[in-house]
Amino acid sequence: MTTPPVLTDLAARIAAAAPEGWERARLRWRIREDGTGRSEPTYTLTGGESRRVNLDLSDRAFDVIRVVERAPVHLVLEVAATGQFAATVGETVDRGEPDKSILYVRDEDATPPDRGDEQDGPAAATPAGDPEEAVRLFHELMRRRAEIVGYAEELPPPASDEDLDELEERLGVALPADLRALYRVANGDDTLTTPVFDRHPWIPVEEVGEEDDEWAEISRAWKYEPQRKPVLDAEPANSVRRSVLRPGWIRFAHDTGGNWLAVDMDPAAGGCPGQVIAVGIDFVEAPLRVADSVTTFLRLLVEAVERGDYECHGGDDLHIEADFPHWGEVDQERTWYADARLLAEAGAEVRPKLQKVRVTGVEDLGFLANMPNLRVVGLAGPGQLDLAPVRALPVEALELDLESVDLAPLAGHDELRFLSITARTAVDLAPLRTLPALWALDVAAAPVADLAAIADLPGLRYLEVTRDQWRELWHRDDLVSSLAVVGIHPEPPQREWPLGTGWAATEHGLPPRRVTGHWTTG
């Protein structure tokens, strides 16, 4: 680490204030957010006598804070009469803190890469909806509802073209023609006993785009470890962009519990503009594609009523059982947690919809050949695995808990973005230099042969290490300046699957740093 001038200056001032016959001095200075804090270096004299001196260093307090970009901050500065000094900036002094895992967020604007931004859109952006058919189906659904419950509900007045134009200008995105046509029939349906869109209240034009999206921000907060949970693909594959939320997703109905139906005006290559998707707190792992258009959504409701697939609750609360995809069933198809015994029983069945798998007690990875679309893989076993089968898959997050780990077979993997290693023997990180997409690394539970290799990973933004491992790295300015988030554990963490950390605290700024230098006095 390049020695900050403030530390050289403080060392020189401590030396200048030293009593006769001093050999060394030690300053422990806790600086508060407002720059205050007592600065009294203790001098050790020849013969072992100690003497404390009240030295006003407050004019440099904020310069010390800037070294780690956070406050309160603790500085330990050791100065030798021979001209050397060593400084540690930012380590905690609270008695309970040394045993806690702390997450340091240096770049508060940093967020995990949005995979949806990297996906292509459809070559031919043709909507599947039909505005005239959507209006017809809407009236048919309302007519049949009136027949079933015995009365017709009054709809709100329609939205005007001016209202809709203003909405589109505010959103910066045009509504699909079928949804726009429905708003020209009624401006939402909050007054209805049974909302039109599968019991999701229809949002009035003036409220569209005014949602509280704190849930989305929380899902990406570093303390919840989003690097371990990349957004997965919807079904059908590559129809919806792999995002938590996007500006091109116009939410038009809600479930009152933090989830919405949205029209997707920014689809992935296999989708079409205006497709209906479900997003929200229950869909942060992956959005759910519900229908190819609002028109089709209404058609499925009408067809279900025609089949008699409905129930009335309380006399007039109509529950229609339409053929919409069910989130639980879709999630079950893409996620599998198993042990080696279950793998053997499952045989050689190909599972193309699997995207997330966690296997314990594994000794061979041949089974991965039957899972061609895996994105998240967790492997735990008693020995060392040949990771070559992982190299052939589009895996983005890999968590290993093995006796020994050989990363060489992963060399050149162009999709791997997050790697977590738990091992009992030293791991060589050199192959990671060949992973172009790697931005998050966790080696806190693994001995590492050469930690310096971490500084050779130019795209690394997230690092998780032990305190001792960090002390081997904190002098590397090239590494520290590129990191957005650093998680530091007091000891190698003992984890149970699913892997993760209960961070005791989140600090905004750099982790602790140690520097050495030489002081001179004028």
Instruction: Report pLDDT digits (tens) over 387-397.
Output: 999 999 999 99
Residue 259 pLDDT level (bands cut at 50, 70, 90): very high
What is the average pLDDT score of the chain?
A: 92
pLDDT tens string 455-472:
999 899 999 999 999 999
31, 72 Cβ separation under 8 angstroms:
yes
417 by Cβ neighbours in 10 Å (0-12 / 13-18 / 19+) ranks as: buried
Pick the closest to residue 362 from 348, 376, 382 (CA basis).
382
Kindly state the tokens that stand for 222. Answer: 């570093």
Q: Assign 379 to helix, strand or coil.
A: strand
Going by pLDDT thresholds of 50, 70 and 90, the confidence category of residue 95 is: very low
For the cut 70, the answer to whether the pLDDT of residue 287 exceeds it is: yes
Mean pLDDT of 343-365: 87
Q: What is the CA radius of gyration of the chain?
A: 30
Tell me the Ramachandran region of residue 274: left when phi exceeds 0, alpha when psi lies from -120 to 50, beta otherwise: left
Do 169 and 87 sit in the same domain of this protein?
A: no
* Non-local CB neighbours of 326 within 8 Å, separated by 6+ positions: none
Residue 230: CATH number of its domain: 3.40.1580.10
Q: Please give the Cα distance from 112 to 242 (Å, whole number).
A: 12
Count: domains in the chain: 3
Residues 476 and 388 in one domain: yes
* CATH number of the domain residue 57 falls in: 3.30.500.20
φ/ψ of 360, rounded to 5, equals -110, 155
Q: What is the pLDDT of residue 342?
A: 81
Confidence bin at 1 (pLDDT 50/70/90): low
Q: How far apart are CA 85 and CA 240, in angstroms?
A: 57
Q: Could you tell me the CA-to-CA distances from 350 to 239, 333, 375, 468 in Å, in that order?
A: 22, 12, 16, 44
pLDDT range class, residue 96, cuts 50, 70, 90: very low
Same-domain pairing of 350 and 447:
yes
In a domain, 496, yes or no: yes
468: CATH: 3.80.10.10
> Is residue 522, in this structure, part of any structural domain at all?
no
Residue 502 has pLDDT above 90, yes or no: no
Domain boundary at 82, 97, 112, which? Answer: 97
135, 275: one domain = yes
- Domain check: are 437 and 382 in the same one? yes
| Separation between Cα atoms, residue 447 and residue 423, nearest integer Å | 7
**pLDDT of residue 145 exceeding 50:** yes
Judge if 190 and 280 occupy the same domain: yes
Q: From the CB of residue 507, how many other CB atoms can be counted at a distance below 10 Å?
A: 22
Whether 26 contacts 76, CB under 8 Å:
yes
Range of the domain at 470: 330-503
Q: Nearest Cα to 320, choosing from 334, 308, 337?
A: 308
Asked whether residue 497 carries a pLDDT value surpassing 80, the answer given is no
Give the angle subtended at the CA of 322 by the CAs of 316 and 326, to the nearest 5°: 120
Query: Of 290, 270, 268, nearest to 280 (Cα)?
Result: 290
Judge whether 378 and 395 are in contact, CB under 8 Å: no
Amino acid identity at 156:
P
CB 445, CB 490: distance < 8 Å: no
| One domain, residues 477 and 413 | yes
Confidence of residue 522 (pLDDT cuts 50, 70, 90): low
How far is the C-alpha of 136 from the C-alpha of 152, rounded, in Å?
Answer: 16
Establish if 91 belongs to a structural domain: yes
